[in-house]
């Protein structure tokens, strides 16, 4: 079996150990401390939290993904659906339904899994009072069984009308649950910062700040080497370094590239750079349908700027050297192009440098 997994939460043997981070996060969780976790996309934030909770004492994970929410109703449905997944027994779901009876819950059978689940009335779950109901439900369940409540992509709550009011309601409920750790994960740093470090926000200083950055090269290479050895594949230190470089050390992308490398080679093989090229071609074939439309939306100047960042890096994009390299007459045109590329989610800015959201797209641009 392919020992590399990406695009999903990984724990156990599929998780690259991060002992120091795991230990500190577990300490915070076990003490009931609320935590806000920031980091770039696909850096393994969610997997780190799930692994820490898995190893924590007497805690169950209530994981709620807020990606894409646009209304209070969306929020309530997400929370209720996650609570339903905690325990599929009819007696538990009946208890949950009783806790949110004002939302007119319906106990139904999932046509795919055959398990009972709860759905709530869309009109009943769209009022401010419904927010109180679902948060009170979580609090009631946490009193019966100790939970760690995780809100993933928490920054998307800012897309909801009266987001500040929602945050104020949540803060008011959460502050009276000192035994229940709430974890807030986000991949858009400026929005997470707006909620947790801006003194005007209801969530100001409401949680310990916790950063998840790239895994140390030596630790990551050691993990990858062990995984390749499960198929008696040998990988040189130089090739492992090349893998990390190509994937920009982004955890999910490193695992994706290794997945392709495993899939395109055989057991007992000594892997080479030629194999890595084949693996990259496999990644490109999987993702090209996203690359081509992205490029087709760009002007000639935007394309030159993008190619320049792929080839020269995104640190000094307003310098004379960069302007000459991309054949753009002035810094204003570069700045305007970069803002458009960020808006299209092709690039993002971090610590004064522009990076590709997808490092394989950068390699594809270089090869194009």
Kindly write down the DSSP assignment for every residue of 327-356, as one continuous string.
T-S-HHHHHHHHHHHHHTTSEEEETTEEEE
Tracing tokens 């700040």 back to the chain, one arrives at 209
From residue 47, how far is each of 9, 11, 68, 179, 251 by CA, in Å? Answer: 5, 6, 20, 23, 10
Q: Facing residues of 117 across strands?
A: 108
By the 10 Å C-beta count (0-12 exposed, 13-18 middle, 19+ buried), 327 is classed as exposed
The residues, ordered by sequence, that sit 6+ positions from 171 with a Cβ below 8 Å of its Cβ are 202, 203, 206
Per-residue model confidence (pLDDT) at position 217: 95
CA distances from 363 to 300, 335, 356 (A): 19, 22, 10
336-361 confidence digits (pLDDT tens): 999 999 999 999 988 889 999 999 99
Q: 3-class SS at 68?
A: coil
Q: How many CB atoms lie within 10 A of CB 185?
A: 25
* pLDDT tens-digit profile, the chain (368 residues): 899 999 888 888 999 999 999 999 999 999 999 999 988 888 899 999 999 998 888 889 999 999 999 999 999 999 999 999 888 888 888 889 899 988 888 887 777 677 778 888 877 777 778 999 999 999 999 999 999 999 999 999 999 999 999 999 999 999 999 999 999 998 887 889 889 999 999 999 999 999 898 999 999 999 999 999 999 999 999 999 999 999 999 999 999 999 999 999 999 999 999 999 999 999 999 998 899 999 999 999 999 999 999 999 999 999 999 999 999 999 999 999 999 999 999 999 888 899 999 999 999 999 98
Confidence at residue 350, expressed as pLDDT on a 0 to 100 scale = 83
pLDDT of residue 126: 77
Give the Cα separation of 41 and 28 in Å (integer). 23
Label residue 228 exposed, middle or buried (CB < 10 Å: 0-12, 13-18, 19+).
buried
Angle subtended by helix axes 251-263 and 217-229, to nearest 10: 30
pLDDT of residue 190: 81
- Number of H helices and E strands in the chain, helices first, is 15, 9
CA Rg value for the chain:
23
Distance CA(106)–CA(89), nearest Å, equals 15
User: Collapsing DSSP states into helix, strand and coil, what is residue 292?
Assistant: helix
Instruction: Write down the pLDDT at residue 109.
Output: 75
Contact (Cβ atoms closer than 8 angstroms) between residue 227 and residue 246: no
Residues 348, 250 contacting (CB under 8 angstroms): no
Q: What is the pLDDT of residue 88?
A: 81
Task: Report the C-alpha gap between 221 and 236 in whole angstroms.
Answer: 10
pLDDT score of 75: 94
Calpha distance 205→337 (Å, rounded) = 36
What's the DSSP call for residue 10?
A: -
Task: Give 86-142 as a DSSP string.
Answer: H---HHHHHHHHHHTGGG--EEEE-TTT--EEEE--TTGGGSHHHHHHHHHHHHHHH
In our burial notation (b when 16+ CB lie closer than 10 A, e otherwise), range 193-202 reads bebbeeeebb
Neighbours of 231 (CB within 10 A): 15
**CB contact at 8 A, 223 and 235:** no
Q: What is the distance between the alpha carbons of residues 247 and 252, in angstroms, rounded to a whole number?
A: 9
pTM of the entire predicted model: 0.85
């Amino acid at each position: 079996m392919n020992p590399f997994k990406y695009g999903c939460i990984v724990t156990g043997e599929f998780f690259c150990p991060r002992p120091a981070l795991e230990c500190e996060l577990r300490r915070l969780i076990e003490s009931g401390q609320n935590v806000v976790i920031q980091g770039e996309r696909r850096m393994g934030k969610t997997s780190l939290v799930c692994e820490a909770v898995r190893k924590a004492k007497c805690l169950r994970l209530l994981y709620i993904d807020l990606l894409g929410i646009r209304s209070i109703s969306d929020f309530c449905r997400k929370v209720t659906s996650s609570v339903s997944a905690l325990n599929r027994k009819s007696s538990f779901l009946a208890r949950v339904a009783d806790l949110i009876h004002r939302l007119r819950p319906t106990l139904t059978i999932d046509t795919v899994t055959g398990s009972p689940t709860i759905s709530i009335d869309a009109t009943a779950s769209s009022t401010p009072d419904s927010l109180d109901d679902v948060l009170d439900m979580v609090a009631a369940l946490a009193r019966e069984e100790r939970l760690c409540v995780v809100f993933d992509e928490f920054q998307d709550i800012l897309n909801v009308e009266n987001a500040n009011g929602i945050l104020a309601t949540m803060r008011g409920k959460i502050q009276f649950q000192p035994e229940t750790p709430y974890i807030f994960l986000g991949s858009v740093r400026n929005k997470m910062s707006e909620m947790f470090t801006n003194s005007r926000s209801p969530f100001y200083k409401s949680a310990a700040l916790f950063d998840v950055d790239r895994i140390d090269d030596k630790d990551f290479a050691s993990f990858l080497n062990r995984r390749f050895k499960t198929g008696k594949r040998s990988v040189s230190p130089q090739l492992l370094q090349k893998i990390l470089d190509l994937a920009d050390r982004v955890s999910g992308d490193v695992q994706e590239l290794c997945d392709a490398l495993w899939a395109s080679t055989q057991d007992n093989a000594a892997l080479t750079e030629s194999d890595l090229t084949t693996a990259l071609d496999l990644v490109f074939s999987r993702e090209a349908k996203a690359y081509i439309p992205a490029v087709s939306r760009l002007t000639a100047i935007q394309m030159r700027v993008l190619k320049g960042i792929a080839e020269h890096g995104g640190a000094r994009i307003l310098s004379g050297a960069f302007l000459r390299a991309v054949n753009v007459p002035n810094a204003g045109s570069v700045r305007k192009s970069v803002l458009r590329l960020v808006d299209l989610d092709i690039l993002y800015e971090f610590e004064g440098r522009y990076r590709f959201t997808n490092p394989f797209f950068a390699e594809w641009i270089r090869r194009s």
